[in-house]
Structures are given as structure tokens and as C-alpha cells.
Structure 1
């Protein structure tokens, strides 16, 4: 049982506290009580709340009744929490953190404990990409019958209007037009679909005891592998842009990752452009404008 007040990390509060009347704000205010309820119900002992933590969930390091360490995660309410649990059940610890328990009402997930402060970003670039490729390969399994995941085609279609409107505001018209055309055409050419992590990058792969590296925090989809791999191409793109010959280096990265995982180079290039433009426009309009412009610059290079 916890003996000290449970406080959400400041990073989470800052990210979610902008709307004082919104449902997410209400969830944030109730979070200490929700955590305590789950600690009591699952007979867990709180070690500490992970800080600074992330911007879309609270993670607490806990111990189970037999003393085994675990992590208790509370994602922001919504469909994403249920989707994460469903994906972790599909993988059952193969390449990803193992789901021990879940609670549909609160969205709480009890996970095996990993080394939250040690991700693939702690490794040199070449080694990190090698380990990341080996990890994501394990996640690409056939979708089970009756799965609850959206498809890449559905996600892209849902984003199209928002991307077009935001692209006009960001002044990225030609690149957005190209990305929208790719979003329309690429899903039609898919011949084989897999369960995808959806948000795979080096920071989403943590050191573990059961396996050296395990993926966390999926935003699962069903679609082609190139879509998943495209997000990995974007990792540490700022470092790439800061060096000489950025365009050539970006293309080599696409080729190297595609060849290492038997993914078509052109499709990976196209999905990388799409995801770079989508992220760049979003950042330019509502986030970090400088980062958004850098992502759009990267998109033009691939």
C-alpha cells in the first residue's frame, strides 16, 4: 500500500492541463485516486512514480504481492489504451513488454518492469538502428481473426482532411500534395498485412531482463511493414540534418533499413516522406515550428 501522496509528474500535468474543463483534465485530477484504487485492488506496493515520465500516461514502479517488480501504467483515457493492451496480448512478450494484467474500466495496465531510463537512444546510432531493426521484426506478426486494430488505410484517410488544412497553414503545399497522393495510392498496393507497432522508434525500445531490448507504448495498426519502419527512419533526423550531405545520408538510411528487413526501398521512401510531412505539418501548426520545418526539410531529402 502507498503511504505517501501520489502526484502525477509535472511533464504529464503540463501536457494535459491546458483545458481546465475538459475530460482529460478531470481524469488528471482523479489520477491519484485511480492509482491508489488499483494498488489496493491488485495488492501492489508502490515504489515510486516514474519521473519525468511521458506526456500521455502515468507510470508507477510497483511490486506485486510476491515481491516481483512491475510497472503500473495509466494511459490517457480513450481507445488507445484498449488498443495497447490488445497489441501486447497478441505479442505476448515476443519483442515487446509483457502485459501481466489490465483493467478495462480505468485503462490500467500492469506490465513487466523494464529499465525505463535505458532506451536504444543510449546507444551509438549504428548500433541503435541494428537493435531496433531486430526488435521491430519480431512485432510484425499476422493479425489475429477479429482483431480490434484500425488499418493504415483507415488512419491515413482519417488524417487526410486535417493534413490538407494544416498544410495550408504551414505553407507546405507541394509537399502536402505529394504526401496526400501517397496516402491515397500506397495502401492500394499492399499485398500482405501485419500487426504494426504504429509509433516505433528508438525511444520506444527499453532494456529488459528477460530480453536485452523490448518495445513499449504501441499505437497499433494493421498494414504493411514499410509504414512502421518509416518512423524509425525519422529517428535522430536532427543529427542527420546537422551533418554534411544530409540528402545522401537520408537516402542511404532508407536503403539500409529496407534491405536489412526485406522491405521495398521505394515504398519505405514513400511512407517516410508521408510520415515526415504529417509530423512536420503538425509540429509547425501546433507544436515546435522549428522542429516542424526540419521535418519538412527531411521529407524533401528522402
Structure 2
């Protein structure tokens, strides 16, 4: 299948600190897609652009070109098997449905990094709504995802994921005082955590798309097991560029965080702590990748917390 990978994907996988093997996977992507499509007997309509930073999404048809679906192809380091397992556990409750729940569904299964999914409307996310309405819909969606993980699950924990991130943050890519505050906040949250729920892991307005079966459904989980405040922390800083550009950005950000915490019965102090950690982690990661403007915005936001 001949196509050009979306620029966002090519740019992200070409960054200096991209995962090992990212460039090789990107170079082979047309070949990988052609194989995945052929083995599933799919008809491709188009590539979704701008798409994501670590996967390719195509709109396809199954069953003799009759049934619309979406095909997501991701590299091994994006852990598509974990995403598949989380979507299968949610069974469409608050999230997009997966049409393949295990390696037996298609020859090759998880090994090809592909997920055949319910088709949503990729051009319509919660970011298309006014912010207050978007946050209300986001809260209703994320609430459905917070369930007990399956017995014997292999999902990563918040402690393990943030442990890797914390080690990377100590590389001198952010203000020392801010990094230290974020690391202390993480330690305090882990020491007092009392929830072990299945979380989306990367939840934000852009990860909630319009659908037919339900008005709004979450996509693109990076599943992790831990407390709800961690999952809500990424949503709390949505539209951060608008906040930074506003004269009242700091106070607006704090009010938004309180509203989110209250609406979902999450401890406000825990949400603030995890929001601080995740903002500083994202900021220092952006700095390492040379995305200086993004790093500056995120670290300024974190300084308000």
C-alpha cells in the first residue's frame, strides 16, 4: 500500500529521544500495513491525518466492504497488546470497541501491532466543544473507565511507570526546584495511595471522539493500574496554551482543577500533586526532544501549581 505517513507521526518517531527501533519501524510501515490489510481482507478508504504520535490509523471496511471500521497500527514499543487488553476489558463501556480481543482472532494477532476497531468520527473530538462543555463530557466518559482490572492482569502500575519517568527527569532538562517538587509529590502520592483501578493512562479531550453507538467514546489508552487522581491529571491541563496566553491563566487553571476534582469525587490535593508531576514530566521530556516552546509552556503551567 503506497502512502506517506502523517507528518505528526514521522516527526515524533524521528525525534532524537524516540524509542529504539522507531525509525526502522517507520521505514517499514507501508509494508507492515499492506500485510495487515491483506491478512484481514480489508478495503482501505484513507489514512487519518494528522493522526497520533506513535501509531497510524486508517479508515477501512470489512465484510466485503460493507462494514465501516478503523485499523490502528502501532509499533511494539507502543504496547498495542496492552491497549487491546484494556479495550477488551471495557467491552465498549466508555471506550471504543475492539473487534479483535486476542492473538487467535487473526493469524499473527498481537504480533503485527494492529487493532481493528469500531469506527468513530476522528475529526470530531471533545476539543471541538467549548471548554466547559468538553470538561463535563470528559468527566462523564472517564468515570466509566475506572473499573477493577481483570484478575491476573499484566498492566503496568502507576508506580512502575512514573518510576521510569522520574529517573529520566533527573537528567537536568528542567528547573531543579520544579523537578524536585514534582518528584517529592510523586513519592508522597505513592506512599499514601489506596486505589488500584484500571486507568486510561493518557486521557484528555483529544482522546474522546464522537461515535454512533454513544455520543463520546475514549480512544488510545495507555492503560495503567493506580488511583483516579493520576488519570485525571492529564485532563486538568488540557488547552494549556490558552491558559498560558490568558491574564487569568493561573487562577483559571486552579479553578478548573477544583471543579474536576469535585465533579468526580477525587481528592483535590492528590489531583494537584499528580498534575504537577505529570506536567513537569511532560515538560522535561519535551525539552530533551528539543521541543523548547512546548517545554516552556508546560513548565510555566507547572509553576502555578
Q: By how many angstroms is 1:57 displaced?
A: 0.8
Q: TM-score, normalised by structure 1?
A: 0.92
1:226 alignment partner, SS class: helix
Tell me the equivalent position of 1:40: 38
| 1:154 pairs with one of 132, 152, 160 | 160
Tell me the equivalent position of 1:136: 142
Tell me the equivalent position of 1:72: 71
1:15–1:55 contact (8 Å) kept in structure 2: yes
2:166–2:281 contact (8 Å) kept in structure 1: no
1:157–1:183 contact (8 Å) kept in structure 2: no
Q: By how many angstroms is 1:282 displaced?
A: 1.6
2:222 alignment partner, SS class: coil
Tell me, yes or no, if structure 1 residue 118 matches structure 2 residue 118: no
| Structure 1 residues 63-212: aligned runs within 5 Å | 63-66=61-64, 67-78=66-77, 80-101=79-100, 103-165=109-171, 168-170=172-174, 172-212=175-215
Structure 2 vs 1, CA of residues 123 and 158 (structure 1 numbering), >3 Å: closer, same or farther? same
Take 2:25 and 2:294, find their aligned partners in 1: how far apart are those partners? 30
Take 1:283 and 1:39, find their aligned partners in 2: how far apart are those partners? 34
Q: By how many angstroms is 1:79 displaced?
A: 5.6
2:111 alignment partner, SS class: coil
RMSD between superposed Cα atoms in Å: 1.6
Take 1:241 and 1:11, find their aligned partners in 2: how far apart are those partners? 23
Take 2:41 and 2:87, find their aligned partners in 1: how far apart are those partners? 22
Take 2:24 and 2:256, find their aligned partners in 1: how far apart are those partners? 43
1:53 alignment partner, SS class: coil
Q: By how many angstroms is 1:121 displaced?
A: 0.3
Q: Which runs of 5+ in 2 are unaligned?
A: 103-108
User: Could you list the per-position Cα deviations for residues 187-223 of structure 1 after superposition, in whole angstroms to 9, with x for gaps in the alignment?
Assistant: 1211122111110000000000000000001111000
Tell me the equivalent position of 2:105: none
Tell me the equivalent position of 1:60: 58
Q: Compare 178-187 and 260-269 and name the one that shifted more.
A: 178-187
Take 1:228 and 1:135, find their aligned partners in 2: how far apart are those partners? 12
Tell me, yes or no, if structure 1 residue 29 matches structure 2 residue 32: no
Take 1:169 and 1:6, find their aligned partners in 2: how far apart are those partners? 36
Take 2:133 and 2:87, find their aligned partners in 1: how far apart are those partners? 25
Q: By how many angstroms is 1:260 displaced?
A: 0.1
2:99 alignment partner, SS class: strand
1:24–1:77 contact (8 Å) kept in structure 2: no
Structure 2 vs 1, CA of residues 113 and 248 (structure 1 numbering), >3 Å: closer, same or farther? same
1:14 alignment partner, SS class: helix
Tell me the equivalent position of 1:16: 13
Q: By how many angstroms is 1:7 displaced?
A: 3.8
Take 2:272 and 2:266, find their aligned partners in 1: how far apart are those partners? 10
1:117 alignment partner, SS class: strand
Tell me the equivalent position of 1:241: 244
Between the two proteins, the alignment pairs up a number of residues equal to 294
